[in-house]
Structure 1
């Protein structure tokens, strides 16, 4: 109770002379620092969201595109926008208070920004198309074909520089939907060792019936969902595997970390635990700031980073039929 009394930021007492106010400067300082830290984290999240949203673009690229466009427009005395710069400058809400040159500058900045965004979208879609090619998986390790080398060069060219953790999320191709025939074939191959001949013949007949009747209708719904969501499996997998599962997630699904395997700096368990916790917190700080490099095969092909979002501050609360995930 004494510690709680000392932690009060301010307190007052009523006396015959008036109200006597006592301020705890240390408590107020801690409140100020806490608020400052919170706003810094919000700013970092906002900045990371902007940088991820415009990747592979960058502030330097934005300046180059805008300055190049406006310089070409001014010194060549040509308007590649076909009068769009002047129209944008005239329709600015405060254009009546601006000179003609100021209107042209603002209009040029807007057109240059649109050109920069167009370049970003083109690069992003080209990269998505390149990543949709899976022929590199068939190449032997250590001996890449010419087509694979050209493909890797193009992927590097359109991947931009210094990607953040979630920079490639908008450039990854959608998860393809396999055909009903291929799904049934692979299912029969997987269950064949588990069934005798009679059971397998019955399952083959059911598979053919599914392929002709119910399968095409479900396939249409699945394709519709794949057009809407980047991964048509992730939400179902989370619900039916993680949230509805009754097995312990501690040993089956949770992330884990390991101490030193071959180096023992100390034999004190408390010191080793403290070092592990400190390292985990440093990793979490980098994760919050998206400073961790994305996982890339062959240092070129980006992998999905969505699993990092729930590495910390996430729990599963059990329910009657299905649990709930809170982050």
Structure 2
């Protein structure tokens, strides 16, 4: 119990907004859901989703002797917004690349645990390894999986990054909470491309985020023209319409301060931007994942009439 309390206090001290802990074990139900999803081809060209299936469903294959999965939520909801007439960027990408920011906190957290508790072995992950983060967050009592496929926290909404720290020490475990989506279908109704095919099931191959970020070095299919609602990088529609996000509060993380260009660029500014300027302005931004060529492709697609 003392170690569990220390870890949760440490998480808050390091800037994480919420912390939950679950027993490390195989995720049998999630394994079946993931297998069905893959078999239906809903991962599109994201072949990496097929890799390391055994590790995705069992954290003990990622950390030898794993006993506990610590899940951490980090708020990224911004206090400022883009100009509405410009190509839209998902809010998670307004500031610095979250991988860099959160990975450093996870390393610090593990070091502090080793200093305080003893020879703790563990590994931290943030959206860069075969870990079912949302499943662990749900099992840790941090929320439920909404009809849009996102984790929803009852007091804080869904604009969070999810990180996990898998360790080999036993801790006190949290219990899952209920599902509070009820009969609401706002996200299902609002999805511009119909990617939310049923409650909690996202056809990744139809998602705007897939086309604008994950689809590498290919043209976006013509059949999708006119369906992107101005989204150039990612999409927040299903979160923006979710009633639970009325509880979202602006983050206080300096690293996630919006890049000025994201808030201020007009459509013309984006179109006039050179590759050199792109590399300089977005050198620490998630936008670099699409590269300059990807952003140019997305802009061209938005400007093509169906």
TM over 0.5, yes or no?
no
Higher strand share: 2
Q: Which has the higher contact order (CA 8 A, sep 6+)?
A: 2
| Structure possessing the higher radius of gyration over alpha carbons | 1
TM-score, normalising length from structure 1? 0.23
TM-score, normalising length from structure 2? 0.24
